[in-house]
Amino acid sequence: MRTDEQVQQNVMDELKWEPLLNAAQIGVAAKNGVVTLSGTVDTYGKKLLAERAAKRVAGVKAVAEDIQVGISPIYKRTDAEIAAAILDALKWNTAVQDEKIRIKVEDGDVRLEGECDWEYQRSSARTAIENIAGVRSVMNLIAVVPKVKAEDVEKKIAAALQRHASLDANKISVQAQGGNVTLNGTVRSFTEKQDAENAAWLAPGVINVKSNLEVEDLEFAY
């Protein structure tokens, strides 16, 4: 099993591997597989990039993210300018139903509200605005309201997990009640956990996914 020091070093190395990040600006601590990130970056997109990089590292079971966004004066925008940029980004993203989305911007903090038919449309709305200059944080409150209630949600998710090359679907069970899905079982990494959750979200009719998946405490050879 990897030690806290090894996990910490591997996360630091992974951050250095990201060309858009200045790893020296980000602090890394690790304890029992839980990694804490701290420091300051100049865009919200870089904050998310650091979190995703940490989650890719073997041995990481959870990430506590305490990175602050300190926007450079060069990229400083008014809330009205940020809102206009967000509207344009949503309009030009074909995966987003921009006419159903309402936005609010206050001191660079963005709030998204409204409805959509699929989870991928909800997540696409957030992704579309992550790297807009001036954005400090995004609260995605868009609700998934599917047009068609899928009676075989559980079956479709189980089939999707079986198709996924990175997953050991035999260790994952799926329970569905209406549009609410619960995943139980074990996975081999934090990334595999996210892959399983994403597969569940992509099924038609899903409005909520509760993940009880646990990352196995595996031995690694060096």
pLDDT string in tens for the chain (222-residue length) = 788 899 999 999 999 999 889 988 999 999 998 999 999 998 898 999 999 999 999 889 899 989 988 876 766 789 999 999 999 999 999 888 889 999 999 999 999 999 887 888 898 999 999 888 889 899 999 988 766 554 567 788 888 888 887 788 888 998 888 778 899 999 888 888 888 998 888 887 787 899 999 988 655 433
* Residue 221 within any structural domain of the chain: no
What is the reported pTM? Answer: 0.61
The answer to whether residue 193 is domain-embedded is yes
Which among 110, 127, 144 is the end of a domain?
144
Same domain for 35 and 79, yes or no, is no
Domains: count for the chain: 3
Cβ–Cβ under 8 Å, residues 21 and 15:
yes
In a domain, 220, yes or no: no
Instruction: Tell the residue number behind the tokens 């995004």, with chain if given.
Output: 138
Do 190 and 160 share a structural domain?
yes
Range of the domain at 42: 4-70
Task: Clarify whether residues 91 and 136 are in a common domain.
Answer: yes
Q: Are residues 46 and 89 in the same domain?
A: no
Whether residue 160 contacts residue 152, with contact meaning beta carbons closer than 8 Å, is answered with no
Q: Do 163 and 211 lie in a common domain?
A: yes
Q: Are residues 63 and 11 in the same domain?
A: yes
Could you give the dihedral angle defined by the CA atoms of residues 64, 221, 189 and 187, in that order, rounded to the nearest 10 degrees?
Answer: -140
Tokens of 141: 């409150």
Does residue 81 share a domain with residue 65? no
Q: Residue 211: its pLDDT value, please?
A: 92
Block residue for tokens 């963005």: 110
Pair 79, 66 in one domain: no
Residues 135 and 189 in one domain: no
pLDDT of residue 109: 92
Furthest-apart CA pair in the chain: how many Å? 54
Q: 86 and 126: one domain?
A: yes
**Residues 118, 94: one domain?**
yes
Q: Judge contact between 172 and 187, C-beta under 8 A.
A: yes
Q: Are 11 and 28 in contact (CB under 8 A)?
A: yes
Q: Determine the pLDDT at residue 113.
A: 95
Domain CATH number, residue 211: 3.30.1340.30
**What does the pLDDT read at residue 151?**
56
Mention every residue, 6+ apart, whose C-beta is less than 8 A from residue 53. 11, 14, 15, 17, 18, 21
Contacts of 62 (CB under 8 A, 6+ apart): 33, 34, 35, 190
Per-residue confidence (pLDDT) for residue 39, from 0 to 100: 93
List of E strands, the chain: 26-31, 34-41, 62-69, 101-106, 109-116, 137-140, 143-144, 172-177, 180-187, 208-211, 214-215
Instruction: Check if the beta carbon of residue 174 is closer than 8 Å to that of residue 183.
Output: yes
| pLDDT for the residue 157 | 85
